[in-house]
Structure 1
Amino acid sequence: MNTVETSYLPPLIAVGDVVSYRLLEAGHRPDIALVDGRIKRSAADEGIREAVTEGSSIEVRNPPAELAAPAVRTLRRAFTVNEPTTILVDGEGDLVALPAIVAASSGESVVYGRSDEGMIHVKVTDDHRTEMRDLLERFEGNTERFWEILEGGS
């Protein structure tokens, strides 16, 4: 297996078990990995689960089709840790890609999976953050509180 020289790569946030696993296989450990132990709504196989949960991890609950406050807080906290961190999501982790793009700095990368199509790489720009903010504003719920949490409040 070939490895990738990682000293020049910008911070990387991976969303999904397969995405995280494939990046690890390529020799690049994500700075933040969001995994939920599921692939296409089925349990990930043991080898993938073990690989993506190795190292420092934080567990959080995020119900399907939601962005719960604890998940957003945990994501924010992971951005402040100085070592690769895996967020183990009990529930659904896919939607956390949206606030991850908003929280990432320009030039950082967010990679997420698209079923049966592959991986999507977003090299974060101000335009990406604006687009995600606009999308997140359309979600139901307490968006004021959401932004407070995402932007560093408690």
Structure 2
Amino acid sequence: MARDDDTATPDSTGADEQLLVLPDDLRHELKEPMGPIETDANVLLKTVDGPLIAVGDVVTYHFLRAGHPPDVAVVDERTKRQTVDEEIRETVTESTHLEAVNPPAEISAEVIEALLEGIAREEPTTILVEGEEDLIALPAIVAAPEGASVVYGQPDEGMVHVTVTDDHRAEMRALLERFEGDTERFWELLESANGDE
């Protein structure tokens, strides 16, 4: 995949530059759903009014089966730490547009760049993550436009639907500020995208 590395720092970390790491004391907070939970994709889609960002293979699969490809889908070929079954894997990765490395319990510069590129594109975009996509819902809520829907999977419960508002963005910013790592660089990446619009 061709990448524009003009914004990358000239050190040895390269494409998988680590930005943020989830601290242990935040893990329990992230288990709480950030919005209403729905089990039926068709019912959820009736409440979507604006761009749709899906984080997770099973969530993405349900939207594709409902005939509504997400504007951005972030998948990693896994669910609940296990490899997804072959039908789901083939369905969600059939049209992969971008790839990014994102280690478990981290948010990398590469995945943020891919997310921002996906949001900026006119056509539906699938991002295949090598590693784990679980935390990407957080920066997606910050980066998505007002009124967009960010949907992610809640294990054994269903799909969590967050309709992006300023309040949600502020909540996610406060949460992300509590991560360990280079928060300054993280915000620079997100804000450079917002400044380009």
Q: Which residue of 1 aligns with 2:189?
A: 149
Q: Which residue of 2 aligns with 1:65?
A: 105
User: Residue 77 of structure 1: CA displacement?
Assistant: 1.0
Q: Which residue of 2 aligns with 1:79?
A: 119
Output the CA distance in 2 between the equivalents of 1:93 and 1:32: 13
1:17–1:36 CA contact under 8 A, matched in 2: yes
Any stretches of 5+ residues in structure 2 without a counterpart? Answer: 1-41
Identify the match of residue 120 of structure 1 among 160, 173, 179: 160
Aligned pairs for 1:1-154 within 5 A:
9-152=49-192
Deviates more, 1:49-58 or 1:26-35: 49-58
User: Residue 26 of structure 1: CA displacement?
Assistant: 1.4
Output the CA distance in 1 between the equivalents of 2:84 and 2:54: 16
Output the CA distance in 2 between the equivalents of 1:110 and 1:78: 13
SS at match of 2:105: coil
2:63–2:69 CA contact under 8 A, matched in 1: yes
CA-atom RMSD in angstroms: 1.8
SS at match of 2:167: helix
Provide Cα deviations, 1:105-152, integer angstroms capped at 9, x if missing partner: 111000000101110000100000000000000000010000001122
Output the CA distance in 1 between the equivalents of 2:65 and 2:149: 18
Output the CA distance in 1 between the equivalents of 2:192 and 2:77: 28
User: Residue 53 of structure 1: CA displacement?
Assistant: 1.4
1:65–1:95 CA contact under 8 A, matched in 2: yes
1:76–1:152 CA contact under 8 A, matched in 2: no
Moved over 2 A (4+): 3-6
Partner amino acid for 2:133? G
Q: Which residue of 1 aligns with 2:8?
A: none
Structure with bigger RCO (C-alpha 8 Å, 6+ apart): 2
User: Residue 54 of structure 1: CA displacement?
Assistant: 2.2
Task: Tell me the TM-score normalised to structure 2 length.
Answer: 0.72
Structure of larger gyration radius: 2
Output the CA distance in 2 between the equivalents of 1:54 and 1:123: 27
Output the CA distance in 2 between the equivalents of 1:17 and 1:124: 21
1:56–1:84 CA contact under 8 A, matched in 2: no
Any stretches of 5+ residues in structure 1 without a counterpart? Answer: none
